Chain A
Amino acid sequence: MTPRRPRPRASLQPLSHAATAPAVAPPPRWRFPQPTSAARLGNGLDVLWYRLPGQHVLAATLVLDLPLSREPRDLEGLATITARVLDEGTVDHPGEQFAERLEAVGAAMGIHVSLSGQQVMLDVPVTRVAEALPLLAEAVRRPRLEAADVERHVALRLAEIEQLEANSAQTANRWLRRQLWTPDSRASRMNGGEPDTVARITPVEVAAFHAGQLGPTGATLVLAGDLAEDPLDLVADAFAGWQANPAGPELARPEPAPPSVLLVDRPGAVQADVRLAGPGTDRHDPRWPALLVGTTAVGGSFLSRLNRVLREERGWTYGVHLNLTPHRDGGSWAVSGSFRTEVVGAALAEARSLLDLGAEPLTAAETEAAVHQLTGTLPLRAATAEGVVDQVASHLLAGLPADHADQLLADVRQVGPEAATAAYTEVVDPAAPTVVVVGDAGALEPALEQAGFPVTERR
């Protein structure tokens, strides 16, 4: 045996590809970005600015306190139509001049209408923020809302619903809301309105809704990007004159409907879209971090219990997921997947049995993997300007602090297998779920019956 020589430091690591996976160093301490500056304008508009080095496209989102409870019941879709007409011309840039101007400065506007509020978004290269930000303010404060534009957007929304009805997955999602919640719950109908109410929307109502509901009260403008100058002065110039509006009612918590099995017929479909769901909870619930870990292990990761068996072992689906949909108040859980017609009964039965943790609680290894997955991907999701403003907006719309990610991260790290199993079992009840199946009903109905899901409604 030759005497041991001192080993160079580098050889503490293998010199070539090893037979076992390299160890993973723990992630460095990470915090959600803090605002570089924050202000409240005289009219009540809050402004949060995040300077993010290297982010050459500024992302801005105006988060409006405009839950869908502000729409009249017989005119649902009004918030969406109003938002869609904002960029069809302003007092300062009528008609197509607005889109021309916006596009010429390299900017894009978008809207997002959710149950708890609305976002009007702007993306623009940081070199052109001074030109683009006033356009965002113009569109929100002084849109023309021309009759022809409103009427066209009503017709396009109705056409969009026809497109959705021709799409199996979207049809399943639409029916799922209807089956999950009572008709009194706004969550039971599409955020953008159903055909009967959309068809009633006229330019007069759009003008009134804009004047009464779109304002700075309770609103926050969130901006992020690599801009040397603090943009608060620009924001104040563009938005300070915006008249405050009266505050309105919050959206009531949705009421769960009784369990059901709905079969929607698409004759000749080569696949069926399946949803298996139930009422859940929201991000204010103290069980939320543990629930998130539990659902990730059961149906959120690639080798979750559901995807491992139904995709990687059986080959029955391209992918199956268990997702949580938190509202500001209340929420739901749902398993979603598409399966070829002949395996739908077996897939549903197997999914229900996998969802039931009674015999097999979550293991320490499953829980740890889920915790790592959730905590590791958070920094990635907040790595861009767009990612930061999206997350802040999502937190604000849920009534949570802008930097809620930090608390969530800390809480998720503490979750062990017992807590994850307990929270999951309390919320996800696979015994009496709401089921929606969209596919070839003739072939599916007997299979569902046989699998223990007798159809209660047909469409």
Chain B
Amino acid sequence: MPAAPAVPPPLPISEHTLANGLRLVVSPDHAVPSVTVNLWYDVGSRHEQPGRSGFAHLFEHVMFQGSTHVARSQHIALVQGCGGTANATTWFDRTNYFETVPVGALELALWLEADRLGGLLDALTQASLDNQREVVKEEKRQRYDNVPYGDVLQRVVELTFPADHPYGHTTIGSMDDLDAASLDDVREFFRAHYLPSNAVLSVVGDVGVERATELVEREFGPLTDRVRPDVPDPAPLPPLTGSPRDEVRAAVPSDAVHLSWRLPALDQDEFDALDVALGVLGDGQSARLHRRLVRTELAEAAGASSLGLIGGNSIGIVSGRARDGVPVERVESTLLAEVARLGAEGPTEEEVDRVVAQFERSWLQSLSRIDSRADQLSRAATLLDDPARVNERITEVRAVTPEQVRDAAARWLSPTSCGTLVHVQEA
């Protein structure tokens, strides 16, 4: 077997923790005169209170509504006005905020982030909350409610976890819960989760470690920390039992099936083996599901993916959309047969090599941009407690063996431990 191709040199990674607990990660890159500021707060939809689904994400919107020294809606305008980009996203495990700017605007980006971490509540008003509540409801309609299959993720998590589990609802939440969110909820959420010690700040780009550290100390150093209230720390759940099933009649163009499994949390070695297993099933034209379902004209599309999470369990999803005239049951049974075969026989060496090679390209692509590189560093620091894990990632994935894939698939991806979601075309 030929030697594995060389891995690119490790990223320079420097870490520093401020006295208030804020963790700083700096990774200089002088190739382009730009710099990214990326903040991960360790708070996502899994930290939401019952009856307040969607709140972490609504809160993310409120973070752009001004702070002590920043006027309402000005955050993005100030960044764009100096040639940068700014945005934020919310997910099950975290909320991230980021600016990528010409290097001369690094101080502005840090100042904006520090101003809202220090003084969001100074600018909070009922009018700005109400405005962003409406914007978020429009987002929910546009991205989920008015889109075919837009309910897949919500139904998948409801099949996979108990309703009161932290992962039992999605980040967009429900209209009723969004309507119920009050100014007090915003204040309480801010005080509970938006703490220097609950954040990782990554600075990547055309700046040295010393200068970045000096600026971050200046902007964030004066902020005081608070004690974070206890947050849910769910114990890992075993694989699903009882074969839960959800059949929906909807205005969809094709019948579709989504199978979901509970997987181990993303920091477990077995998760990597399962990620490779799902790649063998669903990644690319040579993957098993493409061959067995798409090339044979059973399905328009067939795929498999993992949704890596840190709170006890992750999710695995295998899916297919039936071609016209093909019964969706046939797609479902074929998907299950392929999953079972992988657990019984395992993948070939060549299949694993292909998935690993494909992973390497997409991983290197995610590191090729300073914005996504900063996001990977913040992620590793927040979820794995070590940003330098980014430099180990290719080696870790290369270490996965066909036997590990087989064993993990047999244990976690059993046809008897999945939830089944079927969308059937309305007559």
| A141-192 CB contacts (< 8 Å) to partner B | 152, 155-156, 159-160, 162-163, 165-169
Contact with B along A66-88 (1 / 0, CB 8 A): 00000000000000000000011
Per-position 1/0 for B142-159, Cβ under 8 A of A = 110111100000000000
Q: Flag if B104 contacts A24 (CB, 8 Å).
A: yes
Within 8 A of B (CB), among A310-339: 311-313, 315-318, 338-339
Say whether A316 contacts B81, CB under 8 Å: no
Cα A166 to Cα B148 in complex, Å, equals 7
| Inter-subunit contact A376/B111 (CB<8 Å) | no
Residues of A within 8 A of B284 (CB): 99, 103
Residue A21 interfacial (CB < 8 Å): yes
Judge whether B73 and A373 touch: CB under 8 Å: no
Does A303 interact with chain B (Cβ within 8 Å)?
Answer: yes
**Docked-complex contact B80 and A301, CB < 8 angstroms:** yes
- Judge if B15 is at the interface, Cβ distance under 8 Å: no
A17 to B118, CA, bound (A): 10
Tell which of A108, A269, A316, A374 touches B361, judged by Cβ atoms closer than 8 Å: A108
Which residues of chain B are within 8 angstroms of A25 by Cβ–Cβ distance?
103-105
Is A125 a contact partner of B285 (Cβ separation < 8 A)? Answer: no
CA distance A22 to B108 in the complex (A): 5
Does A380 make an interface contact (CB < 8 A)? Answer: yes
Return the contact of A30 from the options B33, B78, B221, B361 (Cβ within 8 A).
B33
In chain A, positions 20-79 with a C-beta closer than 8 Å to chain B are 20-28, 30, 52-57
A86-134 with Cβ < 8 A to chain B: 87-88, 96, 99-100, 103-108, 123-125, 127-128
Which of chain B's residues have a CB closer than 8 A to the CB of A87?
A: 285
A106's contact among B31, B84, B218, B358, by CB below 8 Å, is which? B358
Cβ of A125 and Cβ of B5 under 8 Å apart?
Answer: yes
Nearest B residue to A101 via CB reads: B286
Chain A residues lying within 8 Å of B294, measured Cβ to Cβ, are 152, 156
Report the minimal beta-carbon distance from B238 to chain A, rounded to whole angstroms: 34
Q: Is the Cβ of A383 less than 8 Å from the Cβ of B31?
A: yes
* B77 adjacent to chain A (CB < 8 Å): yes
Q: A8 on the interface (CB 8 Å rule)?
A: no
Question: What B residues does A128 contact at CB under 8 A?
Answer: 5, 357
Q: How far apart sit A21 and B107, CA to CA, in the bound complex (Å)? A: 9
Contacts of A385 in B (CB 8 A): 368
Q: Which of B189-197, B247-255, B264-272 contacts A (4 or more CB under 8 A)?
A: B247-255
Chain A residues with Cβ below 8 Å from B72 are 312
Are B354's CB and A311's CB within 8 A? no
Q: Is A361 an interface residue (CB 8 A)?
A: no
Residues from chain A with a CB closer than 8 A to the CB of B31 are 52-54, 383
User: A377 interface residue, CB < 8 Å from B?
Assistant: yes
Docked complex: A283-323 residues within 8 A CB-CB of B: 301-303, 308, 311-313, 315-318
Q: B248: shortest Cβ distance to chain A, in Å?
A: 14
Contact A156 B300 (CB under 8 A): yes
Min C-beta distance of B368 to chain A, whole Å: 5
* CB of B216 to closest CB in A, whole Å: 11
B267 to chain A, nearest CB (A): 25
Residues 371-391 of chain A: 1 if any B CB is under 8 Å from the residue's CB, otherwise 0? 011111101100111100000
Report if A57-B368 is in contact (Cβ < 8 Å); known contacts: A163-B253, A380-B85: yes
In whole Å, how far is B9's beta carbon from the nearest beta carbon of chain A? 9
B80 in contact with A166 (CB, 8 Å): no
Interface string of B315-336 (1 = CB under 8 A from A): 0000000011000000000000
> With A28-B103, A380-B34 given, can you name 14 additional A-B contacts, CB distance below 8 Å?
A17-B115, A21-B70, A27-B33, A56-B368, A103-B285, A127-B6, A152-B297, A160-B300, A312-B131, A315-B132, A315-B133, A376-B83, A377-B83, A384-B369
Question: Can you spell out 9 A-B residue pairs with CB atoms less than 8 angstroms apart?
Answer: A16-B221, A18-B111, A28-B103, A87-B285, A99-B286, A166-B252, A317-B138, A375-B83, A383-B32
Return the 3 tightest CB-CB contacts between A and B, nearest first. Answer: A376-B83, A25-B104, A315-B134
